[in-house]
Chains A and B, each alone.
Chain A
């Protein structure tokens, strides 16, 4: 499995944008870039995924570098409910997900 590198933790103020980085220099051509998040004592929640182009949905935006070796998850206005561990995962569609340590996001009022 191609590996990803994320900062252990990040902090943001409420209602400000948050940019969560992810490096994946060994990504293969068929790997999707997935982002999931997990709140304490809950199952992971899908956030967004992409292959080559930038993606937007109601939760977040995903900016993918042109060489695909890095990506950034963008939360446009952080809320207290966005405090969670965010996982950046590479995988082909339909395969199990290899969760790393993720980034623990702290949102302060």
Chain B
């Protein structure tokens, strides 16, 4: 099956610093990737939709200037958390859309990145 990787798997940073998370589709091209975050004991919440070569679309309540998304190629999307604060500590998960032979667009999820801001 299609594989999506994320790097790093976990990161600890100081308050006020920026952190970049990479999401790669390893064996397929993805024109669309999604970014979710998950707080402890809660479900995944969609943050933004990332389309290759265009600006990301953010969900209501997600600050686009704080969570910078770049989808520069068909296999890579990056999420940069700028000026991170402790309340940004969360599990960040990306997914990539892969077109199957049946024309159904299946979402393949990455393993997630655990961000802890001290």
B85 within 8 A of A: no
What residues of chain A lie closer than 8 Å to B78, measured between beta carbons? Answer: none
Asked whether A41 lies within 8 Å of B107 as measured between CB atoms, the reply is no
Asked whether A94 lies within 8 Å of B32 as measured between CB atoms, the reply is yes
Bound-state Cα–Cα, A102 to B45, Å? 13
A45 within 8 A of B: yes
Q: Tell which of B36, B44, B110, B114 has the most Cβ of chain A within 10 Å.
A: B44
B17 within 8 A of A: no
Encoded as 1 (CB less than 8 Å from any A CB) or 0, chain B from 35 to 68 comes to 0100000011110010000000000000000000
Closest to B46 in A: A96
Task: Give min CB distance, B100 to chain A, whole Å.
Answer: 9
Asked whether A98 lies within 8 Å of B46 as measured between CB atoms, the reply is yes
Bound-state Cα–Cα, A46 to B1, Å? 10
What residues of chain B lie closer than 8 Å to A101, measured between beta carbons? Answer: 43
Asked whether A42 lies within 8 Å of B106 as measured between CB atoms, the reply is no
Can you list the 9 inter-chain pairs with the closest CB atoms, starting with the nearest? A94-B105, A43-B109, A99-B44, A99-B43, A93-B105, A43-B112, A44-B109, A43-B93, A96-B46
A49-B104, A87-B43, A94-B32 given. 19 additional CB < 8 A pairs? Answer: A36-B109, A38-B44, A41-B112, A41-B114, A43-B93, A43-B109, A43-B110, A43-B112, A44-B93, A44-B95, A46-B107, A46-B108, A93-B103, A93-B105, A94-B105, A96-B34, A97-B44, A99-B45, A102-B43
Q: List 17 A-B contacts (CB under 8 A).
A: A36-B109, A42-B111, A42-B112, A43-B6, A43-B95, A43-B112, A44-B93, A45-B109, A49-B104, A87-B43, A94-B105, A96-B34, A96-B46, A97-B34, A99-B44, A99-B45, A101-B43
- Chain B positions within 8 Å of A, measured between CB atoms, are 4, 6, 32, 34, 36, 43-46, 49, 91, 93, 95, 97, 103-112, 114
